[in-house]
Chains A and B, each alone.
Chain A
Amino acid sequence: METWIQLGRGPLFQLACALLVLGLLRIVVLALVELVEAYRRSSGRGVNWREIAGETLGWLVPVGRLWRQRPLYSTVSVLFHVGLFVVPIFLAAHVLLWKRVLAVAWPALPQTVANVLTLVVIVAGLALFVSRVASASGRKLSRAQDYAWPLLLIVPFLTGYVCANLALGAQTYEAFMLVHVYTVDLILVLIPFSQIAHCVLAPFSQVVSAIAWKFPPGAGDRIAETLGQGESSLPPLRSGAEPVSVRKKVHAQ
């Protein structure tokens, strides 16, 4: 088992990190290329950069604005995010690991603080999962990955906490460590391909929305032309057309 742990913590971890970085780089570069292209196409006139910068910064440091609505949910969510970022990077044992991989070291968190943050992540992750399951609108919105992610994310925290704080037999310790190491590797690889990509993409949203609202000149006509509709995309109504209504399936049941 020791060999497997070493494999997961060594070469596989490095591979996972490489895939994570490359995967995130890919989506960021693609987003930037598309953004520049869209800006160029739209001639970029009338973009309110100040507003965009303000909103972007505002959501990066959401102090104040998050608590305007659903304060409990917001608090739990923020604690969850803080723990997710801080513990993997600043836990003492991880600092050593990072030093081995990156050859760079930084100050570590006191163990007690790391322990508390770990528990916070576990509790917050479970709370987020439960709130999603418990609310009708949450269930309506959620895909499988929305349920799976909070649970998957707390596995390394749970196993890491157990390994660091409980006196375990060698075999049990290794079993926990094995799960710890491999779930981390899995998470790192999955991030670029899932909604967790928001960890790097979220700051682009405001500028993306603003540029997407800038319609490229002539686009409407070109679209109509592509669709073979010529000058006007809206031919006159069929004579004597009767109104029809759309039945809402949810009410029809």
Chain B
Amino acid sequence: MDPLKLEQRSKVPTGQEVLETGQRPHLPLGFGLQEGAMENRPRRFLQAFAAILKHSNYRLALEQYMRVNARCGRCNVKCQIFQATGEACDLPCHRSELLLSVYRRHFTVSGVLRGRLLGDPGLQDDTIDKMAEAYYTCTLCRRCQLECPMGIDHGLITHLGRYILSEIGIVPRVSAAQTPEPSPDSTGGAEANPVPALLDNLPLLREEIKNATGVDVEFPVDRTGAEYLFFPDLSDDLEADTLMGSAAVFRATGDTWTLGAGFYDGLHYGLFYSDQILEHALQRMRGEADRLQVKTIVIGESGYAARSAKSFYPGCAGEGPAQPVVSLVEYTHRAWKSGRLKLRANAISERVTYHDPCNFARDGWIVEEPRELLQAICSDYVEMTPNRRDNFCCGGGGGTVSIGELRSYRTSVGGKAKAGQIRATGAKYCVAPCANCKKQLRELMEDQGIDCQIVGLHDLLYKAIVFE
């Protein structure tokens, strides 16, 4: 088979085609191939795999998953991609098997011996093609893990598959374009919002809040010794409403906080496909926290940035005790619970529903906090089903939201389940405290013709804060 066929991008399917036929045309996914990415791929793939196994903890998981995998197929009821396409190649277990079989064949004694005896040539280009597609079809939502009696985390395998591919130069175009070492005025964030753009906007936001509420809400930048260093959530745009709500909460609690002009965007593509990028981003975060001598790091409304900081900052950000990390949602909830933040009941009369970002809810980390806050300010709050840990992914998880070519796929196949859920609530507002989810859900509402406004949690809280 030819390696990654160098044909031009195929026709992007319309949502209707996909939904009606139940067939998923291949992903119109463009890969930004780096120099030499197409040469000697199997050999380079195995070299990269070997290097990763040598220095990381993945072998532990591969050995375990390889031995316990009973192929029961329970995961298929959980995978919204499989549920939308019905294609066997979208089964989580099958997706993981692509990589597990390479591991078994090339990195276990029995696999190598059997390969020699049977004359199995081992990894070929077409398997790499399949992996490149499969690991970017998966949105890394990890919902399948909830139903695996063997405890296999297919999301981990997807992450590893992407990591190996990235080490041989196969990375979706958008991600690669936005992750090289940053220019001096870039934040290095996934969406590469430069610092000057943020700084220009802050006075405007301050003025807007003053006009609306009569309260002067500061946006401190580079304030040394503040209690909290805040990493706001960003997508293509500065999420202005969410940022105003965040600042307003800090103003209401009276805690000292600051943005860092050196590095202010917690989003990056590390957790999506490269442990090295992840670690570099966390180290820059640490550098900023040390420089400004803050006590705690607060991550804005981004499931991805929050989980990558919460899980990896303590271990990967450098020597010595690292600052604790909290999500802004947790911070706000605690402030409200302790009475330092006052919220006006029934401030929002329209129907509101809540979307659990996978990176918040899947491990049961942040589940009830946003609900309690919303119930405190909304008079018509409804749940979508399923919810909490069992929520559906927005359909653009795992960084796929940033791949423009995938929009039609994301809003038809990937987001099909989510669209149905939101439509069924009849809500005017869907709250999604995650920049990634918000972008995907907005596109989903637009493409599916659903009249629901996607907002952040702090967008609504902003309307309900009682300043004293």
Report which A residues bind B (CB closer than 8 A).
27, 30-31, 34-35, 38, 41-46, 48, 51, 55-56, 59, 62, 66, 68-70, 73, 77, 135-143, 146, 193, 195, 197-198, 201-202, 204-206, 208-209, 211-224, 226-227, 229, 232-238, 241-252
Taking the nearest CB of chain B, how far is it from the CB of A65, in angstroms?
Answer: 8
Smallest Cβ-Cβ distance to A138: which chain B residue: B73
What 14 new A-B contacts, CB under 8 Å, besides A31-B63, A215-B316, A252-B26? A38-B57, A70-B77, A141-B71, A141-B94, A143-B71, A193-B110, A209-B151, A211-B57, A215-B57, A217-B318, A242-B8, A243-B30, A245-B28, A246-B26
5 contacts between A and B (CB under 8 A): A59-B151, A140-B88, A204-B64, A209-B61, A232-B180
Smallest Cβ-Cβ distance to A41: which chain B residue: B57
Smallest Cβ-Cβ distance to B177: which chain A residue: A237
In the complex, A51 Cα to B151 Cα: how many Å? 13
CB neighbours of A209 from chain B (8 A) = 61, 145, 151-153, 156
Question: Cβ of B60 and Cβ of A211 under 8 Å apart?
Answer: yes
Question: Cβ of A205 and Cβ of B68 under 8 Å apart?
Answer: yes
Question: Cβ of A220 and Cβ of B275 under 8 Å apart?
Answer: yes
Question: Cβ of A213 and Cβ of B311 under 8 Å apart?
Answer: yes
Taking the nearest CB of chain B, how far is it from the CB of A106, in angstroms?
Answer: 28
CB neighbours of A227 from chain B (8 A) = 47-48, 51, 167
Given A62-B149, A227-B47: A245 and B34 within 8 A (CB)?
no
Smallest Cβ-Cβ distance to A221: which chain B residue: B276
B97: interface (CB < 8 Å): yes
In the complex, A22 Cα to B289 Cα: how many Å? 51
B147: interface (CB < 8 Å): yes
B20: interface (CB < 8 Å): no
Smallest Cβ-Cβ distance to A214: which chain B residue: B315
CB neighbours of B177 from chain A (8 A) = 237
Considering residues A221, A227, A246, which has the most beta carbons from chain B within 10 angstroms of its beta carbon? A246
Question: Cβ of A234 and Cβ of B129 under 8 Å apart?
Answer: no
Question: Cβ of A246 and Cβ of B133 under 8 Å apart?
Answer: yes
CB neighbours of B314 from chain A (8 A) = 45-46
Question: Cβ of B71 and Cβ of A34 under 8 Å apart?
Answer: no
Smallest Cβ-Cβ distance to A135: which chain B residue: B73
CB neighbours of A229 from chain B (8 A) = 167
CB neighbours of A27 from chain B (8 A) = 67
In the complex, A45 Cα to B319 Cα: how many Å? 12
Smallest Cβ-Cβ distance to A193: which chain B residue: B110
Smallest Cβ-Cβ distance to B318: which chain A residue: A217
Given A46-B314, A201-B64: A233 and B274 within 8 A (CB)?
yes
B29: interface (CB < 8 Å): yes
Given A27-B67, A45-B314: A216 and B55 within 8 A (CB)?
yes
Given A217-B315, A245-B7: A69 and B56 within 8 A (CB)?
no
Question: Cβ of B55 and Cβ of A219 under 8 Å apart?
Answer: yes
In the A-B complex, the 10 residue pairs with the closest CB atoms: A205-B151, A220-B276, A243-B30, A248-B26, A140-B88, A212-B61, A45-B314, A198-B68, A38-B57, A226-B51
Smallest Cβ-Cβ distance to A220: which chain B residue: B276
Smallest Cβ-Cβ distance to A39: which chain B residue: B57
Report which B residues bind A (CB closer than 8 A).
1, 4-10, 23-35, 47-48, 51-52, 54-61, 63-65, 67-74, 76-78, 82, 87-89, 91, 93-94, 97, 110, 126, 129-130, 132-133, 145, 147, 149-153, 156, 166-167, 171, 173, 176-177, 179-181, 274-280, 310-312, 314-316, 318, 363-364, 405
In the complex, A43 Cα to B319 Cα: how many Å? 11
**Option from B4, B133, B150 in Cβ contact (under 8 Å) with A202:** B150
A-B contact count (CB 8 A): 258
In the complex, A209 Cα to B276 Cα: how many Å? 20
**Option from A146, A212, A250 in Cβ contact (under 8 Å) with B87:** A250
Question: Cβ of B25 and Cβ of A251 under 8 Å apart?
Answer: yes
In the complex, A184 Cα to B211 Cα: how many Å? 81
Question: Cβ of B34 and Cβ of A237 under 8 Å apart?
Answer: yes
Smallest Cβ-Cβ distance to B317: which chain A residue: A217
Given A70-B74, A234-B274, A246-B5: A214 and B181 within 8 A (CB)?
no
Taking the nearest CB of chain A, how far is it from the CB of B304, in angstroms?
Answer: 14
Taking the nearest CB of chain B, how far is it from the CB of A112, in angstroms?
Answer: 30
Question: Cβ of A244 and Cβ of B151 under 8 Å apart?
Answer: no
Considering residues B52, B64, B87, B93, which has the most beta carbons from chain A within 10 angstroms of its beta carbon? B64
Question: Cβ of A244 and Cβ of B31 under 8 Å apart?
Answer: yes
In the complex, A70 Cα to B129 Cα: how many Å? 33
In the complex, A224 Cα to B181 Cα: how many Å? 15
Question: Cβ of A246 and Cβ of B29 under 8 Å apart?
Answer: yes
Taking the nearest CB of chain B, how far is it from the CB of A228, in angstroms?
Answer: 10
Question: Cβ of B150 and Cβ of A205 under 8 Å apart?
Answer: yes
Given A46-B315, A209-B151: A233 and B167 within 8 A (CB)?
yes
Question: Cβ of A241 and Cβ of B63 under 8 Å apart?
Answer: no
Question: Cβ of A224 and Cβ of B276 under 8 Å apart?
Answer: yes
In the complex, A41 Cα to B52 Cα: how many Å? 14
Given A45-B314, A232-B180: A205 and B152 within 8 A (CB)?
yes
In the complex, A247 Cα to B274 Cα: how many Å? 24
Question: Cβ of B132 and Cβ of A246 under 8 Å apart?
Answer: yes
